[in-house]
């Protein structure tokens, strides 16, 4: 047996996804509390204690109260090493989240009991379904009034197109919320609003025992028995296999803010969630327990530390063990590289690590050597695929407001584009730089970060475009002819590939009809 196998099996790497405001960052924080990774919950919103959530560490996130960048946090809990990726809930940053989902083995979806399934969650679930990623659903905010739990389960099945199986069940909600019955462990967890934790944990192997009345009263006890009977009758028996295949989602209820139902979720999660899984590379399937190291870069982040102008490349380790100061092959460059200070993360606290195993996520200092999707190996030629860049839907010219600072501006743009926050196109006709994003908020973030991290001021000029398409053709003459005819709308991306910037849906359709020999791609991965 591989000497690392045991280390790899105790890894659990997952992402928490949800619509903004469903309580994702609060849940992350409570999980960290259980892991002893933080000692005070930042959910304290009082003015005396100005603490923002551990995982939201960029200035703009603190101001807006939303997570913009994906942050990585690791901690140990009950013999397991847990790696959480907290993803941006805001839809303008969906692309970052889609990429993050390529680096995890399972997902926890947080749903607000009052709002139910929202658009953003639906979109992210499609990515999980496509990749057959197992999901667990946590229904949050049970201490507020919301939808009937059975109606919500139907809504989840319908909207997220996945079968569900409750593993815990709420005893009422809002002001009358008494706690949850943990179906998975056959325990009753009672809730007292003022306490920030489960007040009593009572074994209840037989829910029909008359003692139940003493704990939650007659009406609630009857309802709970009826509910549980209905659940056992309607929903299939929970089987770990079906969950691991991504065919069924276990559901838990609780209130992350009050730290209720979180430990139950975590305890069940470490038992059923998958350890690192095999990853499909272009060449072959890579098994996590192989001896040789391999990994890919799924995210690049500039300025983790504003005092040092450095980028950090986030690497998901797919197989074997990574060692500090060893030589690894950068496949795209075809050359060996050594990393003397790889880091592991606890939000912005990072520490140098000597080794890491499949399933872990490490940060490598990057001076411009990496792009999203790059592969590192012990020497083998491997390419991990499936890290798309989407076609942007909003475009603006970026102009320098301060001619003295053009060097800073260019450096800032270059580093922020490497992060994959947005895409840069250079118009071949007039040489102007165009930034394309998936959402409006990204323009604000870019402007803010250029100013605060690079000291460069930029302004935006409107440009009306419909879509960016990467074009290619086997027929060089046709391609040249197209580029001549559309010269005002031709640009190159950062890699120097041809991009056609169509100014309307109609024009794009006409172009596709007039030039059948040209392929139009809407993601940069083809």
- Per residue in 412-446, pLDDT (tens digit) is 888 788 776 688 999 988 889 999 887 777 788 88
Is 457 a residue whose pLDDT tops 60? yes
pLDDT at 491 (0 to 100): 92
**Dist. CA 43–CA 54, nearest whole Å:** 10
**Dist. CA 83–CA 103, nearest whole Å:** 11
Q: Which of 95-99, 159-163, 264-268, 483-487 has the lowest mean pLDDT?
A: 95-99
Is 389 a residue whose pLDDT tops 70? no
pLDDT band at 404 (very low <50, low <70, confident <90, very high): confident
Is 26 a residue whose pLDDT tops 50? yes
pLDDT at 68 (0 to 100): 40
Is 144 a residue whose pLDDT tops 90? no
pLDDT at 397 (0 to 100): 92
Is 58 a residue whose pLDDT tops 60? no
Residue of 307 and 40 predicted with greater confidence: 307
pLDDT at 290 (0 to 100): 87
Q: Classify residue 203 as exposed, middle or buried by CB count within 10 Å of its CB (0-12, 13-18, 19+).
A: exposed
**Dist. CA 146–CA 23, nearest whole Å:** 15
271: left (phi over 0), alpha (psi -120 to 50) or beta: alpha
Return the ∠ at Cα 256 (arms to 262 and 194), rounded to 5°: 100
Is 310 a residue whose pLDDT tops 80? no
Average per-residue pLDDT in the chain?
A: 79
pLDDT at 47 (0 to 100): 32
pLDDT at 155 (0 to 100): 92
Residue of 308 and 48 predicted with greater confidence: 308
- Residue-wise pLDDT tens digits, 170-214: 888 888 888 888 888 777 777 766 555 544 556 555 666 666 777
Nearest to 471 by CA among 439, 435, 511: 511
Mean pLDDT along residues 335-355: 76
Residue of 450 and 48 predicted with greater confidence: 450
Is 348 a residue whose pLDDT tops 80? no
pLDDT at 108 (0 to 100): 92
pLDDT at 186 (0 to 100): 78
Mean pLDDT along residues 261-280: 87
Is 109 a residue whose pLDDT tops 70? yes
What does DSSP say about strands 135-140 and 106-112: parallel, antiparallel, or unpaired?
parallel
Residue of 206 and 360 predicted with greater confidence: 360
- Residue-wise pLDDT tens digits, 223-233: 888 888 888 88
pLDDT at 44 (0 to 100): 32
Is 308 a residue whose pLDDT tops 70? no
Mean pLDDT along residues 227-241: 86
Is 461 a residue whose pLDDT tops 80? yes
pLDDT at 351 (0 to 100): 73
What does DSSP say about strands 80-86 and 106-112: parallel, antiparallel, or unpaired?
unpaired
**Dist. CA 58–CA 37, nearest whole Å:** 20
Query: What is the architecture, at CATH level 2, of domain 279-377?
Result: 3-Layer(aba) Sandwich (3.40)
Question: Domain residues of the chain, as ranges?
Answer: 5-174+240-272, 279-377, 394-521
pLDDT at 208 (0 to 100): 63
Mean pLDDT along residues 165-170: 88
Query: What is the architecture, at CATH level 2, of domain 394-521?
Result: 2-Layer Sandwich (3.30)
Would you say the CATH fold of 394-521 matches that of 5-174+240-272? no
Q: What are phi and psi of 110, to 5 degrees?
A: -100, 130
**Dist. CA 247–CA 200, nearest whole Å:** 33
**Dist. CA 249–CA 107, nearest whole Å:** 10
Selected from 3.30.930.10, 3.90.1150.10, 3.40.50.300, 3.40.50.1820, the CATH number assigned to the domain covering 5-174+240-272 reads 3.40.50.300
DSSP 75-90: EEETTEEEEEEEPP-S
- Residue-wise pLDDT tens digits, 27-54: 887 887 776 655 444 433 333 334 445 4
Please state the pTM of the whole predicted model: 0.74
Q: Which of 43-52, 254-263, 374-383, 502-511 has the lowest mean pLDDT?
A: 43-52
Q: How far is CA 150 from the centre of its chain?
A: 28
Mean pLDDT along residues 440-460: 84
């Amino acid at each position: 047996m591989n000497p690392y196998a045991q280390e790899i099996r105790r890894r659990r790497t997952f992402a928490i996804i949800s619509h903004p405001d469903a309580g994702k960052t609060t849940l992350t924080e409570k999980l960290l509390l259980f892991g002893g990774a933080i000692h005070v919950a930042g959910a304290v919103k009082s003015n005396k204690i100005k603490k923002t959530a551990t995982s939201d560490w960029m200035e703009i996130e603190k101001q807006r109260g939303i997570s913009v960048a994906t942050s990585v946090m690791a901690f140990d809990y009950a013999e397991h090493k847990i790696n959480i990726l907290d993803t941006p809930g805001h839809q303008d940053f969906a692309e970052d989240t889609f990429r993050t989902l390529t680096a995890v083995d399972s997902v926890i979806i947080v749903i607000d009991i009052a709002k139910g399934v929202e658009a953003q969650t639906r979109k992210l679930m499609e990515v999980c379904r496509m990749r057959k990623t197992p999901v667990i659903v946590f229904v949050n905010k049970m201490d507020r009034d919301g939808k009937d739990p059975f109606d919500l389960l139907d809504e989840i099945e319908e909207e997220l197109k996945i079968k569900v199986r409750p593993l815990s069940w709420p005893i009422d909600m809002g002001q009358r919320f008494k706690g949850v019955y943990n179906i998975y462990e056959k325990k009753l967890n009672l809730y007292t609003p003022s306490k920030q934790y489960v007040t009593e944990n009572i074994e209840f192997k037989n829910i029909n025992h008359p003692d139940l009345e003493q704990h939650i009263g007659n009406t609630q006890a009857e309802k709970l028995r009826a509910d549980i009977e209905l659940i056992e009758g309607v929903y299939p028996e929970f089987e770990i296999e079906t969950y691991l295949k991504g065919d069924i989602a276990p559901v838990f209820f609780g209130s992350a803010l009050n730290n209720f139902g979180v430990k139950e979720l975590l305890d069940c999660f470490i038992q059923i969630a998958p350890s690192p899984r095999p990853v499909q590379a272009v060449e072959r399937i890579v098994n996590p327990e192989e001896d040789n190291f391999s990994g890919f870069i799924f995210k690049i982040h500039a300025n983790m530390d504003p005092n040092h102008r450095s980028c950090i490349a986030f690497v998901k380790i797919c197989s074997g063990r990574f060692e500090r100061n060893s030589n690894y092959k950068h496949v795209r460059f075809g050359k060996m590289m050594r990393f003397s200070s790889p880091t592991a993360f606890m939000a912005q606290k990072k520490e140098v690590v000597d080794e890491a195993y499949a399933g872990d996520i490490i940060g490598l200092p990057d001076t411009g050597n990496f792009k999203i999707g790059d592969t590192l190996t012990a020497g083998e030629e491997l390419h991990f695929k499936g890290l798309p860049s989407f076609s942007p839907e909003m475009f603006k010219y970026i102009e320098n407001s301060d001619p003295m600072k053009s060097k800073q501006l260019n450096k800032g743009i270059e580093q922020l584009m490497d992060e994959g926050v947005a895409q840069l196109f250079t118009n071949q006709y007039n040489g102007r730089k165009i930034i394309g994003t998936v959402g409006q908020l990204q323009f604000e973030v870019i402007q803010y970060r250029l100013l605060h991290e690079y000291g460069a001021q930029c302004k935006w000029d409107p440009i009306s475009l419909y879509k960016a398409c990467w074009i290619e053709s086997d027929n060089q003459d046709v391609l040249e002819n197209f580029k001549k005819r559309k010269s005002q709308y031709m640009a190159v991306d950062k890699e120097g590939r041809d991009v056609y910037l169509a100014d309307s849906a109609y024009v794009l359709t006409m172009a596709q009809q007039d030039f059948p020999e040209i392929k139009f791609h809407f993601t940069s991965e083809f």
